[in-house]
A and B are shown apart, each in its own frame.
Chain A
Amino acid sequence: MTASLELTDLHKSFGPAKIIQGVNLSVARGERHAIIGPNGAGKSTLFNLISGRFMPSSGEVRLNGALISGKKPFEINRMGLSRSFQVSNIFTNMTVRENVRCGVLHSMGYGYSFWRNIGNLREVSEKTAHILNEVGLLEKGNTPAALLPYADQRTLEIAITIAGGAEVILLDEPTAGMSHSETDRAVALIEKASKGKTLLIVEHDMGVVFNLADRISVLVYGEIIATGTPEQIRGDARVREAYLGEEAEDAA
């Protein structure tokens, strides 16, 4: 069976700076895979390479066996890969419902349609409401997105990401800046939303990572130094040395 997401010898340099230096990674279908690593390790760059925001300098990315490196973000999205952003990247002048609806539209086959009344698209409205309900923002559906509290904006970010029904979901630090209780709620949401899907997540909160992930990869200076189950990672001497330190014990 082909892997859901397959990175082969991926490199990315900005001028002389080599940010990603030969990453190989295979994420199986239905797997929840976390990427951890110190600041500046290249985690966000890796996401940008996978989602088409950056072009790799060399190497390839495959989604369900199909080559996606070199394609534009919207093409990759249409092939079933969706991502969220570390800094909330929402449509601030629209309501919460309209935000999610933008995420739903293309997957429902409404392309660039200009001959339909958006209010009459029943499936779209229902799917939108369904997503809103799933993430718990249904009550705030008519609030302008810019007026949402921070944690809700992060949730909306996830809602837009999953709205299109992509099979592979990339989440970039979904709980960054959240309080404990907010983090717990976000983790529950991610668990629910990623059921039956492939999830790749970058996260700093080790509690979240070890709770959520089936497997973990450790990225240091643009290279993956270890990949394995949470137990294996916890036991890996190199990882402890390079990165985890005390945090692993705290999380355990």
Chain B
Amino acid sequence: MTDMTATYAALEPTRAEKFRQRTVPLILFAVVLLVIPLFNPSRSMVTLLNHMGITIVFALSYNMLLGRAGLLSFGHAVYMGLGGYFAVHVMNWVAEGSGFWGAVPIFSMPAFGFGAGALAGAIIGWPSCRRSGTPFAMISLGVAELVAAAGFMFDSLFGGEMGISADRMGGPEFAGLSLGPVDEVYWFIAFWTFIGVLGTYAFTRTPLGKLSEATRDNPERVEFVGYNPQRVRYLVFIFAGAFAGMAGGMSAVQDEIFTPESLSLIPSGAILIATYVGGIRYFTGPIMGAIVMTYMGSNLSDYTVGWLLYLGLMFVGVVMFLPNGIAGIVYGTADTLRAGRLGEVWQSWLLRLAGLALIATSVITIVEVAFRWSEGYGEVFEPFGLHLGTDNPLTWALGVLPLVLGVVMVMKAAKGESK
């Protein structure tokens, strides 16, 4: 028996390993959150960071469904939206400031969003979670359409097209933050982002979190070890709704407004894309996806009107060729480096990178030229002083040749690696 206990100890991660793999990343994350303001980011940068924090929590909550429980939802924004709307209403009650509400700090809004999201998940999840797979996806779509339509219908709750706005400066201050200037809002967002990351991570370590993975892999077997898979899905769904609602509460304070649009299929689709592109098999995948997508959404749209097209291309590319997403690349690269195999693979990596760059060149040329042509103002795409009009043979060459060459190179790299 002593012999066995020894082996059992060897099976479990050691204290040092646990610290390194679980505690250190969280500390690092906290340190990053604390250090960012030291760089004196601009106001617009802080706003962008705040939106990143909100999207991180939202994406993590979405991945509780898609990645961990295997439930594809087309309507997750419903829970963020309802949580956010509730928070906006609470903020207005706080502003009126009588009785109980007068004592509620605005800082606590994400907690209210959490509760509202959980409640919405508990109500809507009841009929939805009896099925998994495609039916679940369909029900989520139907529910999202219903809730969004209701959102446009009930003006007193959702404010119609204009939405409902609130003021984050009301109520008692918390930790000396008036939440007026955007860099004070940063601390609010940083705090709740950390809580969101910690909470969703802790959830993966609970018996229920493990069971949700088991239910994803094999719902039938779960039944034969004493669990009701429908109950597992339902409970996970409530938590996913709760954390989405928390993101809604964060957004309510940051942007001070919610519109019925936030309940619709569009934000639901966006979070699906962000989470999947980040990588649903890894806990950190959605975080990466949220950062990249928020950045692209806010910056790429300044550079090009075709950014949605790039987004779509990226998403389809990830679905087809990189099912593990950005996180898959990051961890795969790290593993290769750690195993000291860089010497074997660097050639094919370089080949692939060059191929991808060539493909990107063509795609960007085609898209940019096409958009300018379609707008019909006679504007011309002029990168690096080149004059790429539709009548310029160089345009056509750049649109086709690098694409062909790049595809050949990438295919060659893939073939080399599979050997």
Interface membership of A18, Cβ < 8 A? no
Distance in Å from the Cβ of B118 to the closest Cβ of chain A?
Answer: 12
Cα distance A142–B210 in the bound complex, in angstroms: 15
Contacts of B206 in A (CB 8 A): 113-118
A91 to B225: give the CA distance in the assembly, Å: 12
Q: How far, in Å, is A117 (CB) from chain B's closest CB?
A: 5
Q: Is A2 engaged at the interface, CB distance under 8 Å to the other chain?
A: no
> In the complex, A208→B161 CA distance in Å?
73
Question: How many A residues touch the partner, as a band?
Answer: 35 or more
Known: A89-B218, A114-B208, A118-B210. A107 touches B226 (CB 8 A): yes
Per-residue interface assignment for chain A, residues 125 to 141, with 1 indicating a CB less than 8 Å from any chain B CB and 0 otherwise: 11001101100001101
Q: Is B224 a contact partner of A101 (Cβ separation < 8 A)?
A: no
B210 and chain A: residue at smallest CB distance: A118
Q: Is the CB of A129 within 8 A of B11?
A: yes
Rounded to whole angstroms, the CA-CA distance of A138 and B228 in the bound complex is 28
Q: What are 17 A-B pairs at a CB distance below 8 A?
A: A74-B227, A77-B225, A83-B224, A89-B218, A89-B224, A90-B218, A90-B221, A91-B213, A94-B214, A106-B226, A116-B206, A119-B12, A119-B205, A129-B4, A129-B5, A132-B11, A133-B8
Check A117 against B202 for contact (C-beta < 8 Å).
yes
Chain A CB within 10 Å — which of B18, B206, B239 has the most?
B206
Q: In chain B, residues 213-237, which have Cβ atoms closer than 8 Å to a Cβ of chain A?
A: 213-214, 216-218, 220-228, 231-232, 235
Contact A92/B217 with A97-B11, A112-B231, A115-B206 known, Cβ cut-off 8 Å: yes
Number of A-B contacts (CB under 8 A): 117
A-contact bits for B182-208, CB 8 A (1 contact / 0 none): 000000000000000000001101111
Residue A73 CB within 8 A of the other chain: yes
* Chain B residues within 8 Å of A164, by CB: 225-226
Listed residue (B4, B202, B239) with the most chain A CB atoms within 10 angstroms of its CB: B4
B241 smallest CB distance to A (angstroms): 14
Are the CB atoms of A73 and B223 closer together than 8 Å?
A: yes
Determine whether B273 belongs to the interface, using a CB cutoff of 8 Å to chain A: no
CB distance from B368 to the nearest CB of A (A): 42
A112:B217 contact, CB within 8 angstroms: no
Question: CB distance B207 to A114 under 8 Å?
Answer: yes
Query: Quick check: is A195 within 8 A (CB to CB) of the other chain?
Result: no
Report B3-37 CB contacts with A as 1/0, cut-off 8 Å: 01101100110000010000000000000000000
Q: Are B208 and A112 in contact (CB under 8 A)?
A: yes
CB-defined contacts of A119 to chain B, threshold 8 Å: 12, 18, 205
- Out of A74, A89, A103, A105, name the residue touching B228 (CB < 8 Å): A74
- A110 contacts B by Cβ under 8 Å: yes
Residue B113 at the chain A interface, CB threshold 8 Å: no
Q: Which residues of B does A touch, CB under 8 Å?
A: 4-5, 7-8, 11-12, 18, 202-203, 205-211, 213-214, 216-218, 220-228, 231-232, 235, 239
A163 contacts B by Cβ under 8 Å: yes
Contact A102 B224 (CB under 8 A): no
Q: Is the CB of B205 within 8 A of A117?
A: yes
Are A138 and B4 touching (Cβ within 8 A)? Answer: yes
Across the interface, name the chain B residue whose C-beta is closest to A126: B8
CB <8 Å contact, A102 and B222: yes
Point out the residues of chain B lying under 8 angstroms from A74, CB to CB: 222-224, 226-228
Q: Is A192 an interface residue (CB 8 A)?
A: no
The answer to whether residues A102 and B211 also contact, given A117-B202, A118-B205 and a CB cut-off of 8 A, is: yes
Q: For A125, what are the chain B residues with a Cβ–Cβ distance below 8 Å?
A: 8, 12
B217 / chain A contacts, CB cutoff of 8 Å: 91-94
Contact, CB under 8 Å: A114 / B8: no
In the complex, chain B residues whose CB is within 8 Å of the CB of A97: 11
Check A102–B223 contact: CB distance below 8 A.
no
Say if the beta carbon of A238 comes within 8 Å of chain B.
no
Which 9 pairs of residues, A with B, have the shortest CB-CB distance?
A129-B8, A106-B226, A114-B208, A73-B223, A77-B226, A141-B11, A91-B217, A113-B207, A114-B206
Q: A74-B222, A94-B217, A112-B208 are in contact. List 7 more A-B contacts (CB 8 A).
A: A73-B224, A77-B224, A85-B221, A89-B220, A90-B218, A114-B235, A118-B205
Closest Cβ of chain A: how far from B91's Cβ, in Å?
29
Chain B residues with Cβ below 8 Å from A138 are 4, 7-8, 11
Is A69 at the interface (CB under 8 A from chain B)?
no
Say yes or no: is A51 at the interface (Cβ < 8 Å to chain B). Answer: yes
A160, CB-defined interface residue at 8 Å: yes
Q: How far is the CA of A164 from the CA of B217 in the complex (A)?
A: 19
Of chain A, the residue at the smallest CB distance from B228 is A74
Looking at the complex, which one of A83, A114, A133 makes contact with B209 (CB distance below 8 Å)? A114
Query: Does A98 contact B226, Cβ atoms closer than 8 Å?
Result: no
- Measured CB to CB, the closest approach of chain A to B4, in angstroms, equals 5
Known: A102-B210, A138-B11. A114 touches B225 (CB 8 A): no
Q: Are B224 and A91 in contact (CB under 8 A)?
A: no
Q: Does A155 contact B (CB under 8 A)?
A: no
Contact A133 B7 (CB under 8 A): yes
Given contacts A106-B226, A116-B207, contact A91 B7 (CB under 8 A): no
State in angstroms the CA–CA spacing of A91 and B7 once bound together.
23
Q: How far is the CA of A73 from the CA of B225 in the complex (A)?
A: 9
Q: A130 to B18: give the CA distance in the assembly, Å.
A: 22
Bound complex: CA A73 to CA B205 (Å): 26
- In whole Å, how far is A234's beta carbon from the nearest beta carbon of chain B? 33
Closest beta carbon of chain B to A94's beta carbon, Å: 6
Tell me the minimal C-beta distance from A93 to chain B in angstroms.
Answer: 5
How many angstroms between the C-alpha atoms of A101 and B8 in the bound complex? Answer: 13
> Given A102-B225, A114-B239, is A93 in contact with B7 using a C-beta cutoff of 8 Å?
no
A116: chain B residues within 8 A (beta carbon): 206-207
Asked if A72 and B4 make an inter-chain contact with CB atoms under 8 angstroms apart, the answer reads no
Note all chain A residues with C-beta closer than 8 A to B205.
117-119
In the complex, what residue of chain A is closest to B281 when comparing beta carbons?
A93
Asked whether A82 is an interface residue with its Cβ less than 8 Å from the other chain, the reply is: yes
* Max chain A Cβ within 10 angstroms of own Cβ: one of B18, B203, B207, B214: B207
Closest to A134 in B: B4
